[in-house]
Structure 1
Amino acid sequence: MYCGTHDMVYCLKCIATKHRSCSDVTNLTDAAGSSFRQNEIARLQKESKSMKELLADIEKAKQEHVVLLKEKRDQIQRRVQEIQVSMIEHIKTLSKQANVSLDETYAKGKDKLESDIAVVNRRRSEVEKINEQLQSKTQVNQEQQFVKVKLCQQITDDAKHLHAEFESGGQVSVEFEENSNVMEQFLEVKSLGKIEQFRVNRKREIQRQEEVNVKMQNDQHTCWIVDICKLGSGRFILADFNNIKVKLMDTDHKVTDHFSVQGQPTGICKISHNEVAVKLNTNNIELLSVGTRFSKLRSISIKEGGNYRGMIYTAGKFWVGKSAGVDVYDINGTFERSVAKFRPCQMIVCQNSVYLTDYNDGIVCFKSDGTKRTELRDSRLENTTGVCMSCDGTVYTIDELSKKIVIFSRNGKCLGELVPDVSNGTEPESLCYDDKNNCIIIGFTPSNTVTVLYLI
């Protein structure tokens, strides 16, 4: 029988039990005679052929994804191996330093003991000599006897003083005071990193857009959010150049606190779970702790770069943007080297790679040692300012002029645009990815709001 309600053929048992309430039920002869058309066979053949091709394309894509997944696994394995080698090399370096220090301390102690032994031997020889003189039966006059006694007494007194000095000084030894933090912190680490599976969608679109107010009551000027960084707690720090502040934004994108810094901020980055560094136009970097409120830890000075955008912290080093490149400093502000030959804007770091927008048509990626890894370029970009990266390694950059967000894979392949375009009349300056809400936060100049793009 044929059920017109469900447009499908069924056996008599199914018709009687499951399609009793359907009104359009006929036998096959009537159904084929009234509604069946030969052209439906051709249409179905065409449709099935098209579907066959689509399924073949999907199968091919899945096979390619198997290869890409294996490449990704191999890449992670190589990175784990690099971390292992790096850790072992660092432990070897620490061990070598400890042994060098031990050898130096041992040599000093040994030299002192050998010097003391030589002094004792001289004194002992002198004491033996006076004993022989005192036991001598050679006849001398009273004056000579007096001189000999006084000289012997002097040598004896010197020997007594030496003995007392050595006895009170104790034994020379060498001890090892272990840095317990090294072992404790090492044992607290439960993994080298988090292994997660992500579904990388080809479709990248904006689901909705929100404008979030970041202006505070005591702000005297229109905000200029030059940089944004995300803390380990999931909160965000906004660097407001115009109001000379850094602002704390919670996980629901509400500004809850601020801290007035000693100069206009030009860059900000995370240095630990709840600590950030703020680069100022005074050529100082302020280190802040972020709990329920801000507190200042200390300041360090740099020789150049305060007036220029961008800063990140990686492998114990600060990368600081300047007029024509990037300078690298240690945690105390000691200059080490220069990298890059262009003026950067925003910088981000992922594992051992640093991504810098270059006010041009893309992004330049460097290894942590300063060597260039790759470039991410596209003709739709003219003046890149902001950059961020999602959890799956997708890189987003925004163009200051066109306000387009162009997407790249981590290895540099352009994946197209994030559509639709960002609808905001001011110039975009900075990006930050919020993995909790799967959205991108955009800072502008001048603007009292940041834009939050929730992605599909």
Structure 2
Amino acid sequence: MYCGTHDMVYCLMCIATEHRSCGDVTSLTDAAGSSLQQKEADRLQEEYESIKEVLTVSKRKKKENLVSLEENRNTIEKRLQEIEEALVEHIKKLSQQDKMSLNETYCKVKDELESDIKMLDCRISEMERVRGKFQSTTEVNQEKRFIQFKLCQQIMKDAKILHAQFESGGKVLIDFAENTSVTGQLVEVKSLGKINEARINEKKEIKGQKEIKGQKEINVRMQNDKKTCRINDICQLDCGACILADWRNKNVKLIDTNRNVKSHFDLGFLPNGICKTGHNEIAVKLCNNKIDMLSLSTGIAKVRSISVKGGGGYWGIAYTGGKFWASAETAVDVYDTNGTFEKSIAVARAGTRQMTVYQNSVYLADRSDGIVKLMSDGTKQTKFQDSKLKCTVGVCISNDGTVYALDKPSNTIVMFSQDGKCLGQLVPEIPSREDPESLCYDNKNECILIGYNSSDTVTALHLHD
């Protein structure tokens, strides 16, 4: 029989026991002869096609997820291998340094002991020589014998002093005070990281919003680097190559389009900002209140310098319209290419950081809650703000005008359209204890480059719509 209340067919036993209170129970003959039967069949056919389509889409997504899952696993395995090799290499480096220190100490102590032995040999020889003379002076007069006696006394006295001096110095040993915290911490560490399973729900697409397609680490350390790199600014040349400002090693580095470090230039001073000034020319803002112009036509060479007033210690520089825009704490100072000061523009509350140019306007990171946009005449047009931004340190802009703001506390990148509308945020996989400090949009490879406070790598963040 058919129960209309529950819209389902049941056997007589079920109808009698479980559907006695239902008021719409009819025979199958009556239910099957209903005029609604065909309409219901048509509706079921449409629903079948619809459900089949969504299930097919779900199946496709699951297959894509399976492929991306394997890519995730391969990426993590590669990173684990890189960490393993880096740790082994670092331990080898520490061991080599300690061995060198051991040999230096050994050679120093060995030379001192051999020198002392020579001095003792000389003293013993001198004593034997004087003693021989003293014993062979029986035929000389009393005055000469008295002289020999006194000389022998003095040599004996000096020998006693030398003996006391060496005995008080004690025995020299080489000791090794092992840094147990190194092995102790390694033994205590249970893993190189944490493997997490995350589920990402699809959101309604916002026009202009980007998502992370993948990321790759680029090694930017050079053999002559004495310290861990600190990439505080990045800019791109017309050819697609990128220039990195390495604050800690006081140099700039050229990375080609294949992500290889091809050359570098020692600045002699800490670089606090970098920008493109021409087809093969860049400018570097230095801590000694200078701006150095460098040519990259054949290698990297210094062309000339100009002076800036008191802005050397602050980060950020841009070049547009034949003018330098140099950070000066909470303001930006404008200079012509000859170094003539033109004006100062108050722009930031907490201090300026990285700066960039898009369509002749200057965009700068305010170390508070956003990005400030300055027109070519210096007027403040827009500030790109969002509650997710607490301390903005980096900024870059893609070809379509999307503004990317780097927030230091959260290690996230917030995106804006040119009208100031927030388009969402990117959450890259930032290694622990590595603070991101700078951004650059790589138009050649359509990705964002991220420089760090203390890291020998730069992250290439690939995006998709």
Q: Give the TM bin, normalised by the shorter chain.
A: 0.5 to 0.7
Give the structure 1 partner of residue 359 of structure 2. 351
Give the structure 2 partner of residue 384 of structure 1. 392
Q: Distance in 2 between matches of 1:314 and 1:322?
A: 17
SS where residue 282 of structure 1 aligns?
coil
Q: Among 424, 432, 435, which residue is 2:443 paired with?
A: 435
Q: Among 307, 318, 321, which residue is 1:301 paired with?
A: 307
Letter in 2 for 1:273: H
TM-score normalized by the length of structure 1: 0.57
Alignment of 1:250 onto 2:250: no
* Residues 208 and 453, structure 1, Cα contact 8 Å, conserved in 2: yes
Matches within 5 A, 1:199-348: 202-342=208-348, 343-348=351-356
Q: Distance in 2 between matches of 1:319 and 1:336?
A: 10
After superposition, the Cα gap between the structure-2 partners of 1:419 and 1:243, relative to the gap in structure 1 and judged at 3 Å, is: closer
Q: Distance in 2 between matches of 1:322 and 1:249?
A: 29
Letter in 2 for 1:208: G
Matches within 5 A, 1:41-440: 41=46, 202-342=208-348, 343-419=351-427, 422-423=430-431, 425-440=433-448
After superposition, the Cα gap between the structure-2 partners of 1:341 and 1:395, relative to the gap in structure 1 and judged at 3 Å, is: closer
- Give a deviation string over 1:163-195, Cα, whole Å, max 9, x none: xxxxxxxxxxxxxxxxxxxxxxxxxxxxxxxxx
Q: Among 435, 444, 447, which residue is 2:452 paired with?
A: 444
After superposition, the Cα gap between the structure-2 partners of 1:277 and 1:312, relative to the gap in structure 1 and judged at 3 Å, is: same
Letter in 2 for 1:259: F
* Residues 205 and 420, structure 1, Cα contact 8 Å, conserved in 2: no
Q: Distance in 2 between matches of 1:442 and 1:42?
A: 49
Number of equivalent positions: 273
* Residues 362 and 374, structure 2, Cα contact 8 Å, conserved in 1: yes
Q: Distance in 2 between matches of 1:225 and 1:45?
A: 53
SS where residue 353 of structure 2 aligns?
coil
Identity across matched positions, percent: 52
Q: Distance in 2 between matches of 1:253 and 1:271?
A: 22
Q: Distance in 2 between matches of 1:421 and 1:415?
A: 20
Q: Return the offset for 1:341.
A: 3.6
After superposition, the Cα gap between the structure-2 partners of 1:330 and 1:42, relative to the gap in structure 1 and judged at 3 Å, is: same
Q: Return the offset for 1:324.
A: 2.2
* Residues 284 and 306, structure 1, Cα contact 8 Å, conserved in 2: yes
- Give a deviation string over 1:64-111, Cα, whole Å, max 9, x none: xxxxxxxxxxxxxxxxxxxxxxxxxxxxxxxxxxxxxxxxxxxxxxxx
Q: Distance in 2 between matches of 1:272 and 1:409?
A: 27
After superposition, the Cα gap between the structure-2 partners of 1:348 and 1:38, relative to the gap in structure 1 and judged at 3 Å, is: closer
After superposition, the Cα gap between the structure-2 partners of 1:358 and 1:43, relative to the gap in structure 1 and judged at 3 Å, is: same
Q: Return the offset for 1:422.
A: 4.3
After superposition, the Cα gap between the structure-2 partners of 1:231 and 1:420, relative to the gap in structure 1 and judged at 3 Å, is: closer
SS where residue 249 of structure 2 aligns?
coil
SS where residue 391 of structure 1 aligns?
coil
Q: Distance in 1 between matches of 2:445 and 2:386?
A: 28
* Residues 404 and 422, structure 1, Cα contact 8 Å, conserved in 2: no
- Give a deviation string over 1:403-444, Cα, whole Å, max 9, x none: 011000112111111245545541111100111211100000
TM-score normalized by the length of structure 2: 0.56
Letter in 1 for 2:361: S
Structure 1: stretches of 5+ with no match in the other structure: 1-31, 49-199
SS where residue 287 of structure 1 aligns?
strand
* Residues 205 and 419, structure 1, Cα contact 8 Å, conserved in 2: no
After superposition, the Cα gap between the structure-2 partners of 1:285 and 1:41, relative to the gap in structure 1 and judged at 3 Å, is: closer
- Give a deviation string over 1:233-253, Cα, whole Å, max 9, x none: 111110001001011010111
Letter in 1 for 2:352: P
Q: Return the offset for 1:261.
A: 0.7
SS where residue 357 of structure 2 aligns?
strand
